Amino acid sequence: MFQITPQMLQQGMQMLMSGKLNNDPRMQQFQQLMAGKSYAQQKETLLNFAQSRGFDRNMIAQLLNSH
């Protein structure tokens, strides 16, 4: 199982907050994937995507619920 370290999370948040991801093609694909979905649908999409990439679904759900 892939583990997210606090450093990885912090680096990702810094990139997100600085706008560096806005021009990334992967971010544009992500935005297209989420467009027009309700919050519940977006959350389920994130959980399914994370699980398909080897992340612990429950850990990601806890992260989503903590904010």
Any domain includes 14? no
Asked whether residue 5 is domain-assigned, the answer is: no
Domain presence at residue 59: yes
The pTM (predicted TM-score) of the whole model is 0.59
Could you tell me if residue 53 is inside a domain?
yes
Q: Which residues of 4-37 are buried (b: 16+ CB within 10 A; e: fewer)?
A: eeeeeeeeeeeeeeeeeeeeeeeeeeeeeeeeee
Instruction: Check if the beta carbon of residue 60 is closer than 8 Å to that of residue 46.
Output: yes
How many domains does the structure of the chain reveal?
1
Calculate the alpha carbon distances from 22 to 5, 19, 35 in Å: 23, 5, 15
Evaluate whether residue 57 is within a structural domain. Answer: yes
Structural domain span for residue 64:
38-67
pLDDT tens sequence across 5-60: 777 777 777 777 677 777 788 888 888 888 999 989 988 988 998 899 888 999 88
33 domain residue, yes or no: no
Q: Is residue 7 part of a domain?
A: no
